[in-house]
C-alpha cells in the first residue's frame, strides 16, 4: 500500500476525461492516410488493448484510476474480480503517453497490482507460477537453468568489454534471435560475452507486483554484469527493466552502459561503420515494441525534467530527442537496399501494443491474441509483405497471431534480418 499511498497526488489528478483511451495519429486525409502516412483501416477505435476488448470503463485506464482511488479511500476491498481487471492490462503505456495531465498511469497500475498482492488477493495460477519458476529455475518458462545458453555454439563467458543480456524468451523460446544476435556482433567485430550466470531480468515480476523475487534477480544480474563496459539487449522488456526499473529500485545508476541492439546498430550505421550491400526487395512495416518505444521515450522525458529541476523546461528539445529515438529503427530499415518502407497508422508514441506484455500473454492469452490480431490487420492494411520488430516477446506473440489468422505476412526480428544480409 505504501507505493500506492506515495502516488496519491498523481491518482487524484485524474479527471477521468477518457483521453487515454485513444491513440491520435492524425486526421486521415482523402486517401485515408494518417499524419505518418499510415493507413487507417476499419476497426481502429482505441489505443488501449484491454478497453478495446472488453469495452467497459474498468478496463480502460480511467477506470483503473477510479479503482486506485477507491482502494486508497477504503471504499473498495481488493478482490479476485478486481484482480482480473487490473491484471488484464499489458502495461503498454498508451494511456500514459496520451494523458495531458502527465499522470504516470503504468506506475499507478503496477502499484495497485502490488497492493493487491500485499493484501493477500491470490494471483492467477499462471501469474503466480512466474515467481515460483523464477525462484527455482531463474526463468519464467520453468526450463532448466543449465539449458539457458544451450543455443550458443561458441565459447561461453567470453572475455570481452561487451556482454549480451539474452533474456529468457530468446534463450528458451525464440533462440533464432539469440543466435543471430551473437553471430551478427561477431561479424561486425564486437564479440559479445554470453554469461552462464545471467538470470531472468525480473520484468514479468516487476509488472505483476511480485517484488521480492524481482529484487533478488535484479541484484544477481547487477553483480554478474558489473564488470562489463557495455551490455546489449535484444529484448525490449529486459532493456526497459534494466534501464528504468533497476536504477529506480536499487537507488543507483547502472554500473555499465545499457544499449538495445537496434540502437547499437543504428549508431554504427550513422558513423558509416556498417553498410548493408545485399538487397531485401520487400514492402516492409515496423512494429514498435511498447517497452522499447514509449517506455524509453517516457524515461527520456522524465530524466530531462529532473535535470531541468523544473526551472527551465525546453519541451521542444525533449520532443526532438524522443522523436530521434522513435526514428532509429526506421533509419536502420531504410539503410537496407530494396526495402520499401511503409508505416502503420498507430506508431511511435501512439503505437498499438502487440498485447503480450505485463504478464498478459501468460495469464490472459485471449487478450494477447485479440490485441495482436488487431496489429496484424493494421500491418496488412499498409500492403506490407513483411513486418519487422525488435523484441523476442513481441516476435513470439506476432508469430502466434500470424499462425492463428493465416496471415501471409512474413515476420522478422530486426537483427536476424540484418544478420541474413551480412556475410
Binding site for ligand SF4 (CB under 6 A): 14-20, 48-51, 61-62, 64-65, 89-95, 98-99, 101, 103, 105-106
- Least distance to ligand SF4, CB of residue 129, Å: 22
Task: Record the cell numbers describing residue 323, joined without a space.
Answer: 522523436
The backbone torsions φ and ψ at residue 413, rounded to the nearest 5 degrees and listed phi first, read -90, 140
Q: Which residues contact 212 (CB under 8 A, 6 or more apart)?
A: none
Least CB distance from residue 136 to ligand SF4, whole Å? 29
- What is the Cα–Cα distance from 222 to 40, expressed in whole angstroms? 44
Q: CB of residue 23 vs ligand SF4: minimum separation in angstroms?
A: 9
User: Least distance from C-beta 67 to ligand SF4, angstroms?
Assistant: 11
Task: Tell me whether residue 65 or residue 170 sits nearer to ligand SF4 (CB atom).
Answer: 65
Min. distance of Cβ 357 from ligand SF4 in angstroms? Answer: 9
In the chain, count H helices and then E strands.
21, 7
Between 50 and 262, CB nearer to ligand SF4: 50
For residue 162, which phi and psi values (nearest 5 degrees)? -115, 130
The three cell numbers of residue 371 are: 490485441
Q: By C-beta, is 18 or 37 nearer to ligand SF4?
A: 18
Q: Provide the terminal-to-terminal Cα distance of the chain, rounded to the nearest Å.
A: 54
Contacts of 404 (CB under 8 A, 6+ apart): 369, 373
Nearer to ligand SF4, 38 or 49 (CB): 49
The least distance separating ligand SF4 from the CB of residue 59, rounded to whole angstroms, comes to 7
Of 24 and 141, CB closest to ligand SF4:
24
Q: CA 51 to CA 186: how far, in whole Å?
A: 44
d(CA 64, CA 59): 7
Report DSSP letters for 312-377, one per residue.
S--HHHHHHHHHHHHHHHHHHHHTSTT-EE--BSS-GGGPPP-S-TTTHHHH-HHHHHHHHHHHHH
Looking at the Cβ atoms of 368 and 384, the one nearer to ligand SF4 is 368
Our CB check for ligand SF4 shows the closer of 16 and 303 to be 16
In 3D space, the residue among 103, 71, 76 whose CA is nearest the CA of residue 2 turns out to be: 71
Closest CB to ligand SF4 among 148 and 295? Answer: 295
Q: What is the helix (H) or strand (E) element at residue 115, kind and residue range? A: helix 105-118
> From the CB of 241, what's the least distance to ligand SF4, in Å?
16
Instruction: Give 196-219 as a 3 state SS string.
Output: CCCCCCCHHHHHCCCHHHHHHHHH
CB of 48 to ligand SF4, least distance (A): 3
Report yes or no: 36 and 26 within 8 Å, Cβ to Cβ: yes
The minimum distance between CB 15 and ligand SF4, in angstroms, equals: 5
Question: 91 vs 234, which CB is nearer to ligand SF4?
Answer: 91
3-state secondary structure 78-92: CCHHHHHHHCCCCCC
Q: How far is the CB of 301 from ligand SF4 (least distance, A)?
A: 15
Task: Please say which residue, 34 or 104, places its beta carbon nearer to ligand SF4.
Answer: 104
Amino acid at each position: 500500500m505504501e507505493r500506492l499511498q506515495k502516488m496519491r497526488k498523481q491518482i487524484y489528478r485524474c479527471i477521468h476525461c477518457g483521453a487515454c483511451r485513444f491513440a491520435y495519429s492524425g486526421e486521415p486525409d482523402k486517401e485515408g492516410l494518417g499524419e505518418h502516412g499510415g493507413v487507417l483501416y476499419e476497426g481502429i477505435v482505441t489505443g488501449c488493448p484491454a478497453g478495446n476488448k472488453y469495452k467497459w470503463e474498468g478496463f480502460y485506464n480511467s477506470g483503473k484510476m477510479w479503482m486506485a482511488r477507491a482502494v486508497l479511500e477504503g471504499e473498495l476491498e481488493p478482490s479476485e474480480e478486481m484482480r482480473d481487471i487490473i491484471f488484464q492490462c499489458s502495461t503498454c503505456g498508451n494511456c500514459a503517453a496520451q494523458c495531458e495531465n502527465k499522470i504516470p498511469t503504468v506506475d499507478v497500475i503496477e502499484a495497485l497490482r502490488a497492493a493487491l498482492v500485499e493484501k493477500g488477493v491470490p494471483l492467477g495460477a499462471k501469474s503466480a507460477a512466474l515467481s515460483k519458476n523464477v525462484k527455482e529455475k531463474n526463468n519464467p518458462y520453468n526450463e532448466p537453468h543449465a539449458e539457458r545458453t544451450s543455443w550458443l555454439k561458441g565459447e561461453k563467458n567470453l572475455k570481452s568489454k561487451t556482454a549480451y543480456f539474452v533474456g529468457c524468451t530468446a534463450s528458451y523460446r525464440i533462440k533464432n534471435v539469440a543466435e543471430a544476435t551473437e553471430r551478427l556482433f561477431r561479424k561486425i567485430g564486437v564479440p559479445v560475452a554470453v554469461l552462464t550466470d545471467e538470470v531472468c531480468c525480473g520484468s514479468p515480476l516487476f509488472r505483476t507486483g511480485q517484488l521480492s523475487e524481482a529484487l533478488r534477480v535484479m541484484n544477481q544480474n547487477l553483480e554478474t554484469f558489473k564488470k562489463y563496459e557495455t551490455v546489449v539487449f535484444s529484448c525490449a522488456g529486459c532493456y526497459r527493466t534494466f534501464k528504468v526499473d533497476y536504477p529506480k529500485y536499487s537507488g543507483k545508476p547502472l554500473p555499465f552502459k545499457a544499449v538495445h541492439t537496434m540502437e547499437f546498430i543504428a549508431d554504427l550505421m550513422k558513423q558509416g561503420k556498417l553498410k548493408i550491400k545485399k538487397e531485401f526487395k520487400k514492402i516492409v512495416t515496423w512494429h514498435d515494441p511498447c517497452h522499447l518505444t514509449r517506455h524509453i521515450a517516457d524515461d527520456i522525458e522524465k530524466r530531462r525534467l529532473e535535470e531541468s529541476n523544473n526551472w527551465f523546461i525546453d519541451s521542444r528539445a525533449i520532443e526532438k530527442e524522443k522523436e530521434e529515438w522513435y526514428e532509429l529503427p526506421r533509419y536502420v530499415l531504410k539503410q537496407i537496399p530494396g526495402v520499401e518502407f511503409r508505416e502503420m497508422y498507430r506508431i511511435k508514441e501512439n503505437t498499438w501494443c502487440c498485447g503480450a506484455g505485463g504478464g498478459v500473454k501468460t495469464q490472459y492469452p485471449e487478450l494477447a491474441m485479440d490485441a495482436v490480431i488487431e496489429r496484424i490487420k493494421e500491418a496488412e492494411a499498409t500492403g506490407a509483405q513483411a513486418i519487422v520488430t525488435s523484441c523476442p516477446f513481441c516476435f513470439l506473440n506476432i508469430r502466434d497471431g500470424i499462425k492463428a489468422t493465416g496471415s501471409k505476412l512474413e515476420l522478422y526480428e530486426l537483427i536476424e534480418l540484418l544478420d541474413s544480409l551480412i556475410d
